[in-house]
């Protein structure tokens, strides 16, 4: 059955060849792969794809000529397939030799697959390999190498090189790989992180750097120019700052509070106050509700966050004062807050 179907792959009628292809895949016998190799040069793309599928499924590793032929093909898909199946070669040295050509391929997708295979064969990349991958023009290759270095203790120069990468996604990967809440960065790395927090090439990068800086061991948040990170205001960065400041005594630093209040974000201060508790944030919340210089949308957001929550006495007093103001959206919302407090038996007017 197997031999007859393999022979039918050479039939002149494409319909017979198609039926043979389907039959051989149903048989799923690795011995059939050799009969598919001539189809790699068939003018019909369907037969090309099936031949590549056969190599991907059945390449035994002890047929070096098949992988070598694919690696030298002018077609990108075939060279990429060669890089994919090379780990099956029993001789790792031979596999690496063949792979070395593909690491310098003109096509970025081939190089990415080749580097993936290279790291599978030799996870502990040598310095020359690291430098070569980090110099690759493909951001995907550079990110792959950084990910592979996650368990190593990289040099300061390597970390700085990765953080200065022109691609924001590569730099974000470097931040994730090389910063830790348990390890304080060197002065040069910290300086580069601050630079990225202010002018990183993407919101994702600025947000990840903000988290990394706020998670540093023994960090003094007063020394961080957090307000500068929020110019221009971006939701991802605001979320990162709120997450990083949660659990700290950020409200005790008057300069920081003033800088945060000056940020033109209707979400920043309300979210910080919502996630903080104690006399400090309660007092600040109360003061902001009565401060007419505070944007009305910010004050309304603070009031909205009080709905369904227990209101402390200081904030409750401020809410009652707002109710007594002229009829406006703020006083209407304040009245709703008080009504809800009465409904659950707290916050009664004195």
Q: Each residue of 76-85: pLDDT tens digit?
A: 999 999 999 9
pTM of the model: 0.78
- Residues 254 and 188 occupy one common structural domain: yes
Instruction: Report yes or no on 95 lying in a domain.
Output: no
In which band, very low, low, confident or very high, does the pLDDT at 350 lie, cut at 50, 70 and 90?
very low
* Spatial distance between the Cα atoms of 337 and 333, rounded to a whole number of angstroms: 6
Query: Are 285 and 254 part of one and the same domain?
Result: no
Which of the four pLDDT bands, split at 50, 70 and 90, describes residue 125?
low
Rg, Å, the chain Cα set: 31
Reduce the DSSP state of residue 183 to 3 states and report it.
strand
Q: Do 166 and 203 fall within a single domain?
A: yes
Give the model confidence (pLDDT) of 209-243 as tens digits: 999 999 888 788 988 999 999 999 999 999 999 99
Which residues 6+ apart lie within 8 Å of 153 measured at CB? none
Q: Which two tokens stand for residue 192?
A: 């580069």
The answer as to whether 121 is a domain residue is no
Which residue in this structure is represented by tokens 């931040």? 175
Three-class DSSP category at 180: strand
Asked whether residue 170 is domain-assigned, the answer is yes
Tally of structural domains, the chain? 2
Position 344 confidence tier, pLDDT thresholds 50, 70, 90: low
Q: What pLDDT is recorded for position 347?
A: 47
Q: What is the pLDDT of residue 303?
A: 95
d(CA 156, CA 174): 12
Query: What is residue 65's predicted lDDT score, i.e. its pLDDT?
Result: 80
Which of these three, 213, 240, 265, is where a domain ends?
Answer: 265
Same domain, 251 and 299: no
pLDDT: which is higher, 143 or 314: 143
Q: State the CB neighbour count (10 A cutoff) for residue 70.
A: 26
Structure-model confidence comparison of residues 346 and 53, the more confident one: 53
- Is 22 domain-assigned? no
Residue that finishes a domain, picked among 208, 234, 265: 265
Please check whether residues 166 and 189 belong to one and the same domain. Answer: yes
Tell me the pLDDT band of 99, cut-offs 50, 70 and 90. Answer: very high
Kindly tell me if the per-residue pLDDT of 19 is higher than 70.
yes
Q: Are residues 190 and 230 in the same domain?
A: yes
**Within a domain: residue 322?**
yes
312 DSSP assignment? P
Q: Is residue 151 part of a domain?
A: no
Tell me: do 254 and 320 sit in the same domain.
Answer: no
Mean pLDDT of 189-199: 92
Condensed to tens digits (0 to 9), the pLDDT of residues 255-308 reads: 999 999 999 999 999 999 999 999 999 999 999 999 999 999 999 999 999 998
Pick the more confident residue, 267 or 179: 267
Structure tokens belonging to residue 174: 């470097």
* pLDDT at position 244 over 90: yes
pLDDT score at 349: 40
What distance in Å separates the CA atoms of residue 174 and residue 149, rounded to the nearest whole number? 10
CB 196 within 8 A of CB 163: yes
Structural domain ending residue among the three candidates 265, 290, 307:
265
- Closest to 62 measured CA to CA, from 24, 100, 34: 34
The reply to whether 71 falls in a domain is no
Domain of residue 166, residue span? 158-265
């Amino acid at each position: 059955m197997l031999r007859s179907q393999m022979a039918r792959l050479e039939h002149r009628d494409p319909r017979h060849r198609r039926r043979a292809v389907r039959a051989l895949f149903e048989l799923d016998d690795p011995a059939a792969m050799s009969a598919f190799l001539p189809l790699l040069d068939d003018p019909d793309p369907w037969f090309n794809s099936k031949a590549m599928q056969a190599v991907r499924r059945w390449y035994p590793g002890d047929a070096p000529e098949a992988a070598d032929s694919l690696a030298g093909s002018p077609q990108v898909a075939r060279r990429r397939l060669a890089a994919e199946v090379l780990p099956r070669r029993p001789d790792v040295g031979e596999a690496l030799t063949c792979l070395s050509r593909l690491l310098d391929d003109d096509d970025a997708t081939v190089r990415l697959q080749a580097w993936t295979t290279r790291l599978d064969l030799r996870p502990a990349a040598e310095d020359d390999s690291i430098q070569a991958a980090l110099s690759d023009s493909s951001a995907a290759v550079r990110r792959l190498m950084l990910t592979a270095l996650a368990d190593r203790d990289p040099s300061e120069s390597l970390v700085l090189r990765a953080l200065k990468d022109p691609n924001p996604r590569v730099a974000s990967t470097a931040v994730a790989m090389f910063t830790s809440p348990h390890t304080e960065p060197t002065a040069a790395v910290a300086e580069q992180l601050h630079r990225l927090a202010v002018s990183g090439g993407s919101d994702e990068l600025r947000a990840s750097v903000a988290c990394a800086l706020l998670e540093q061991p023994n960090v003094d948040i007063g020394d961080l120019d957090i307000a500068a990170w929020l110019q221009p205001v971006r939701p991802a960065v605001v979320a990162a700052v709120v997450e990083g400041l949660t659990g700290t005594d950020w409200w005790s630093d008057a300069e920081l509070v003033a800088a945060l209040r000056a940020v033109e974000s209707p979400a920043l201060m309300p979210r910080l106050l919502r996630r903080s508790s104690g006399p400090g944030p309660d007092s600040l919340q109360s003061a902001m509700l009565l401060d007419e210089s505070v944007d009305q949308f910010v004050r309304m957001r603070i009031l909205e966050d009080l709905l369904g929550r227990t209101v402390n006495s200081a904030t409750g007093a401020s809410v009652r004062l707002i109710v007594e103001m002229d009829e406006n959206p703020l006083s209407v919302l304040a009245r709703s807050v008080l009504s809800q407090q009465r409904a659950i038996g707290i916050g009664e007017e004195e």
